Structure 1
Amino acid sequence: MPSPAALAADRLSELDAFLLELNTVAADVILPLFRADHGLEDKGGVRGFDPVTAADKGAEAAIRKLIAARYPDHGVIGEEYGEDRPDAEFVWVLDPVDGTRAFISGLPLWCVLIGLRHQGRPVLGSIAQPFLDEIYLGHAAGSRLIARGQTKPLQVRPCPKLTDAVIATTDPEGCFDGAELGAWTQVRAAARLARLGCDAYAYAMVAMGKMDMVIEAGLKAWDIESAIPLIEGAGGLVTNWRGQPVGPDGGQIVIAGDQACLDEALVALKRSAK
């Protein structure tokens, strides 16, 4: 079986263009519901309030419909509607509204996450913020930002010292257990600046060279897979808390723009790695 790296350039270009179409149909569903009556529900769960809206469900349904029409042999894994042929050669991994808490609060920090696996490995992904008219998209050939009619390449910035780093996580007290919170606190104490509550938008900021590291735990595949090709295409790294490649089920994740900075953070994170 050929490796994912063997994906032909013309096929990758075709799928890249299709990914932009998927972002368009998602935005068409979501934007009319942002800062409007979004039909809020609570999915519950082990971490308490877990909101889902008509935007989450409608956007994922629209994305799935277009995939089924264009590529009926492709699989789909989505947060709202589960798995459909997850062992297919090509599998789309969807989080239609990452950051639903920001969405229902009227904050433009939520994102549409769409990733593509080829033979089990992430090869193409986008992080979009439709309200800001931004799509961050990447693969092995490079990453780019498409915003307000312009396109520009994305590149992480050098930051070899953790003491110079701008880092982020979503919610330390809500997303980390005791040992994980201790590890985050240690890294936070060393870093120059930390920002909270940005969800996947922080990933895009690492790709853009505005942030240096994002540390998360308890992620699902749809929370992270779209970011892997984007960050790597911009010259960055995505690992688990042991410094190893991210598995198909998510988990404890570090996104970094500089290997040396990542290595410093892993000294603390490895002690709480699962």
Structure 2
Amino acid sequence: MLTPPNTVATPEGTADIAIHAAEIANIAAQAARGYFRGRLGVEFKADESPVTQADKGVEAVVRQYLAENFPDDGIFGEEQGFEGQDRQNIWIVDPIDGTRSFLSGHPLFGFLLGYLTNGVPRLGVIGMPALNEFLIGMKGQGATLNGKPVSVSVTHQLSDAVFFVNEGDKIYRDHPALFDRLMNSGQTRRFAYDCYPHALLAMGHVDAVIDYDLQPYDYLPVSAVVEAAGGIMSDWEGKPLGLNSDGRVISAATPQLHSELLDLVNG
């Protein structure tokens, strides 16, 4: 179960937001586990990515909670789109991050929740319902895993780094020269998808993640957690992430490692 971090001396309103975010994550996790490894009805979007009853069901319970408790805020969810796009405060919801993992019974699917004020992430949640791991990060307040503080590693050089290449098949398809450079970099490389590699970075287990072809509901909640844990997350040009970023991201534990990765992806 996700518990909010120590909320002493937080900016006005942040403590309440963290408490609600923890409750939302618990509700979403319970809903997701009710569907996991069950009989799922699967549809496919225009981009051929799958949508299950679980995606829609989890987002529905989250939206209901937000409508009851934050009626003046906007909501941007993967399945039902954007409501209140002009609002100062916006919640971002990815009900099942990793639908292909979910529908194949693989436990590394996540739940992502973000809270933005004027387009800037103030809070993020990475929930891993099947693993019972929940991270919450607040801007300037640190990050926790199941209520205990976590932080990134202190690795400074790519040659010493354990790093993940997310969406490697797409990177190979669209950027073969970059893929070749990635395969000849780092101390240890792993291939993966979705949010969990970024969560591992926030916990200090890995040092960097290269990711590709993401949507705002994929990267904005994650960026809040990574940066609260002391890391850096940007687009491939080194620019801060926002609602209009192009979905190519780098997560790194230290500024030196982040700079080296920027040089790598830009050739």
Aligned length in residues: 257
- What residue in structure 1 maps to residue 196 of structure 2? 201
TM-superposed deviation, 1:178: 2.7
User: What are the superposed Cα offsets for residues 159-201 of structure 1, whole Å, 9 maximum, x if unpaired?
Assistant: 111011111133212355433x422431331111122224101
| Distance (Å, rounded) in 2 between the aligned partners of 1:219 and 1:176 | 16
- What residue in structure 2 maps to residue 114 of structure 1? 113
Q: 1:159 aligns with which of 139, 146, 155?
A: 155
Task: Name the aligned partner's letter for residue 191 of structure 1.
Answer: G
Identical residues among aligned pairs (%): 32
| Distance (Å, rounded) in 1 between the aligned partners of 2:41 and 2:192 | 22
Structure 1 residue 168 and structure 2 residue 167: aligned?
no
2:167–2:193 contact (8 Å) kept in structure 1: no
CA RMSD after TM alignment: 1.6
Structure 1 residue 265 and structure 2 residue 261: aligned?
yes
- What residue in structure 2 maps to residue 40 of structure 1? 42
| Distance (Å, rounded) in 2 between the aligned partners of 1:23 and 1:108 | 17
TM-superposed deviation, 1:10: 3.9
- What residue in structure 2 maps to residue 233 of structure 1? 228
Q: 2:213 aligns with which of 215, 218, 225?
A: 218
| Distance (Å, rounded) in 1 between the aligned partners of 2:220 and 2:127 | 14
| Distance (Å, rounded) in 1 between the aligned partners of 2:231 and 2:179 | 20
Which runs of no fewer than 5 residues in structure 2 stay unpaired? 1-9
TM-superposed deviation, 1:203: 0.7
Report the TM-score, using the length of structure 2 for normalisation.
0.92
Task: Name the aligned partner's letter for residue 241 of structure 2.
Answer: V
SS of the residue aligned with 2:266?
A: helix
1:143–1:230 contact (8 Å) kept in structure 2: yes
- What residue in structure 2 maps to residue 4 of structure 1? none
SS of the residue aligned with 1:131?
A: coil
SS of the residue aligned with 2:58?
A: helix
User: What are the superposed Cα offsets for residues 36-82 of structure 1, whole Å, 9 maximum, x if unpaired?
Assistant: 1121112141xxx4111111000011101100000100000111000
| Distance (Å, rounded) in 1 between the aligned partners of 2:105 and 2:111 | 15
| Distance (Å, rounded) in 1 between the aligned partners of 2:19 and 2:242 | 26
2:202–2:231 contact (8 Å) kept in structure 1: yes
User: What are the superposed Cα offsets for residues 77-96 of structure 1, whole Å, 9 maximum, x if unpaired?
Assistant: 11100000012111001110
Which runs of no fewer than 5 residues in structure 1 stay unpaired? 1-7
2:137–2:229 contact (8 Å) kept in structure 1: yes
2:93–2:113 contact (8 Å) kept in structure 1: yes
TM-superposed deviation, 1:268: 2.1
- What residue in structure 1 maps to residue 5 of structure 2? none
- What residue in structure 2 maps to residue 57 of structure 1? 56
Structure 1 residue 30 and structure 2 residue 32: aligned?
yes
Report the TM-score, using the length of structure 1 for normalisation.
0.89
